[in-house]
């Protein structure tokens, strides 16, 4: 194997002496590639980025070109991370992003061929070293790209969670939770917590959970709903479930879920009517007993 | 050993748990409360747990049992002021305090007790 790759590589020296040419070739390579996005990237910016990268590469390559995990390569890696992040945000695909690094192969190889004419053994070694190095950097770019995308996904997930669980005050003493989307354990927990907190802060005595926007109700979702109802009751408030569509009513009965202990209404309006009736009755009660 | 005080208010007994409940304290409360209900022939019991912020399964069961015992002794029971975290814990533990009335605070709990006792015609 070519395990004992060049002890001292001549690449840094070549990079320095051929800097202008490589940059020229590389730019031509990048702009000519099928993956070049003229709509997203200006040639001037690309030139700037390429120039910075070549500079960083030249500095880093003076150490070892085999081990890119070393400290000497942190500059190059930081640059690539930033680049991947900005490209990912601008809407480049992973291959379009990685092409930035991979397209450097062609210019570097032709430079090596020019510089090392006659030394076949040395040329092979240097080419192998360069190829491995660029592969590593290319993979690193892809990983950084992926990480950025994952950040975006997890942030959107959090935002979605926040968005989808509002607790609204309908009336004095009446709260409503319009649920939209599938209910899983994590969401139920958040709904439950925010509902109970709101009950404490507003002193509401009736909470309406509206499931018009919940696409399916299976045994698990039903159990989550029942838990929320039970917790609300423990806090001293009544709970009404509204917005049960005909299909969902059928599913619930077919599944054998017992919602008998819970007040259910077909629409939010019906539930609100019940809530108003109850609060009014409650408001009137102390006056008569006093 | 410290005890949880049981206050008498008319025909009702009022228990406010202001300290961290430990198992022996809960047992003691159960004894005291049942004894008081029968000696005072109380019509209702109000247990305020608004300063209780941690419950385990034992304390949860104790609250449920105490309430059930009070009912057996013909006193309506209201548990008031449960914190959200406690409510969630009890639900997760499967203790939904069936047969026990609940209210958001002592004021509403009292109103509820009066209503229930009046409805019973006691």
User: What percentage of chain A reaches a pLDDT higher than 90?
Assistant: 12
Answer yes or no: are the C-beta atoms of A166 and A178 closer than 8 Å: yes
pLDDT tens digit sequence for A87-127: 888 888 888 888 888 888 888 888 888 888 888 888 888 88
Give, as one character, the DSSP assignment of residue B43. S
Q: Which DSSP string corresponds to chain A?
A: ---S--SS-SHHHHHHHTHHHHHHHHHHHHHHSTT--TTT--HHHHHHHHHHHHHHHHHHHTS-SS-TTSGGGHHHHHHHHHHHHHHHHHT--HHHHHHHHHTTHHHHHHHHHHHTTT-HHHHHHHHHHHHHHHHHHHHHHHHHHHHHHHHHHHHHHHHHHHHT---EEEETTEEEEEEES---HHHHHHHHHHHHHHHHHHT-SEEEEEEEE-----HHHHHHHHHHHHHHHHTT-EEEEE---HHHHHHHHHHT---TTSEE-SSHHHHHHHHHHHHHHHHHHHHHH-
Residue A2: per-residue pLDDT: 47
pTM recorded for the entire structure: 0.63
Question: Cα-flanking dihedrals φ and ψ of residue A155, to 5°?
Answer: -65, -45
Tokens of B68: 């059930």
Residue that has been written with the tokens 């019991």 in this structure: B45
Contact assignment for A236 to B115 by CB distance below 8 Å: no
Give the whole-angstrom CA distance, residue A179 versus residue A213: 6
The mean pLDDT value for B9-37 works out to 88
The interface pTM score, or ipTM, of the predicted complex is 0.79
Q: Where are the domains of chain B?
A: 6-120
Q: Which of residues 5-64 of B touch A (CB under 8 A)?
A: none
Task: Quote the DSSP letter at residue A16.
Answer: H
**pLDDT at residue A118, rounded to an integer:** 83
What is the domain class of B6-120 according to CATH? alpha beta
For each of the domains in chain A, give its residue range(s) and CATH number, in order of start: 11-158 (1.10.490.130), 168-289 (3.30.750.24)
Say whether pLDDT at B1 is over 70. no
Cβ proximity of A200 and A161 under 8 Å: no
Q: Is A289 touching B (CB cutoff 8 A)?
A: yes
A68 CA: distance to closest CA in chain B (Å): 50
What digits encode the pLDDT tens for the residues B34-81?
999 999 888 899 999 888 888 888 888 888 888 888 888 888 889 998
Residues A119-160 have pLDDT tens digits of 888 888 888 888 988 899 999 999 999 998 899 899 988 887
Residue A258 touches partner B, C-beta closer than 8 Å: no
What's the gap in Å between the CA of B80 and the closest CA on chain A? 7
CA A212-A217-A223 angle, to 5 degrees, is 115
Strands A168-171 and A174-180 come out as antiparallel
- Are β-strands B44-48 and B12-16 bridged in parallel, bridged antiparallel, or unpaired? parallel
Residues 65-84 of B with CB under 8 A from A: 79-80, 82-84
> Which of A200, A227, A236 shows the shortest C-beta gap to B102?
A236
A1 and chain B: CB distance < 8 Å anywhere? no
For residue A262, which residues of chain B lie inside 8 Å, CB to CB? none
Contact call for residues A208 and A242 (beta carbons, < 8 A): yes
Please determine, for residue A290, whether its predicted confidence score (pLDDT) is greater than 70.
no
Q: What is the pLDDT of residue B122?
A: 53
Structure tokens at A175: 């709260």
A205 to B87: CB separation less than 8 angstroms, yes or no:
no
Structure tokens given for A58: 């030249």
Q: Using a CB-CB distance cutoff of 8 angstroms, which residues of chain A are in contact with residue B84?
A: 192-193, 196-197, 199-200, 231, 235
- The percentage of residues in chain A with a pLDDT greater than 70, rounded to a whole number, is 93
List the single residue in A with minimal CA-CA distance to B85. Answer: A193
* Residues facing A156 on adjacent strands: none
B116 touches chain A (CB under 8 A): no
Is there a contact between A193 and B84 if contact means CB atoms under 8 Å apart?
yes
Least confident piece of the model among A29-38, A118-127, B102-111? A29-38
Strands B101-103 and B6-9: unpaired
The answer to whether residue A1 scores a pLDDT higher than 60 is no
> Angle at the Cα of A237 (from A233 to A240), degrees rounded to 5?
80
- Structure-block tokens of residue B90: 């009890």
* Chain A residues touching residue B82 (CB < 8 angstroms): 234-236
A64-83 pLDDT tens trace? 777 777 788 888 888 989 98
């Amino acid at each position: 194997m070519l395990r004992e790759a060049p002890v001292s590589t001549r690449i840094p020296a070549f990079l320095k002496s051929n800097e202008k040419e490589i940059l020229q070739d590389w730019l031509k390579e990048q702009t000519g590639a099928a993956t070049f996005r003229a709509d997203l990237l200006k040639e001037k910016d690309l030139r700037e980025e390429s120039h910075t990268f070549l500079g960083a590469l030249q500095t880093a390559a003076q150490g070892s070109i085999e081990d890119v995990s070393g400290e000497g390569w942190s500059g190059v890696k930081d640059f690539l991370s930033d680049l991947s992040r900005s490209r990912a945000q601008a809407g480049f695909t992973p291959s379009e992003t990685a092409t930035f690094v991979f397209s450097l192969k062609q210019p570097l190889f032709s430079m090596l061929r020019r510089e090392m004419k006659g030394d076949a053994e040395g040329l092979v070694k240097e080419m192998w070293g360069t190829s491995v190095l660029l592969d590593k950097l290319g993979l690193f770019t892809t990983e950084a790209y992926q990480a950025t995308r994952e950040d975006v996904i997890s942030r959107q997930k959090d935002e979605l969670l926040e968005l989808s669980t509002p607790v609204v005050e309908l009336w004095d003493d009446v709260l409503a939770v319009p649920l939209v989307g599938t209910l899983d354990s994590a969401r139920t927990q958040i709904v439950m917590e925010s509902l109970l907190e709101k009950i404490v802060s507003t002193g509401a005595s009736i909470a309406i959970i509206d499931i018009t926007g919940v696409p399916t109700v299976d045994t698990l979702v039903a159990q989550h709903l029942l838990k929320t109802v039970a917790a609300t009751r423990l806090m001293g408030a009544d709970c009404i479930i509204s917005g049960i569509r005909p299909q969902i009513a059928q599913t619930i009965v077919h599944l054998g879920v017992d919602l008998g202990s819970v007040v259910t209404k077909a629409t939010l309006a019906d539930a609100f009517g019940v809530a108003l009736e109850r609060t009014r009755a409650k408001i009137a009660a102390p006056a008569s007993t006093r | 050993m410290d005890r949880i005080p049981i206050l008498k208010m008319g025909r009702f007994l009022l228990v406010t748990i202001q300290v961290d409940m430990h198992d022996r304290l809960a047992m003691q409360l159960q004894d005291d409360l049942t004894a008081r209900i029968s000696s005072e022939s109380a019509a209702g019991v109000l247990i305020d747990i608004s300063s209780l912020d941690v419950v385990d399964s034992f304390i949860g069961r104790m609250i449920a049992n105490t309430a059930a015992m009070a009912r057996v002794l013909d006193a309506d029971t209201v548990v008031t002021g449960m914190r959200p975290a406690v409510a969630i814990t009890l639900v997760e533990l499967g203790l939904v305090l069936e047969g026990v009335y609940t209210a958001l605070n002592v004021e509403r709990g009292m109103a509820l007790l009066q209503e229930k006792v009046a409805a019973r015609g006691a």
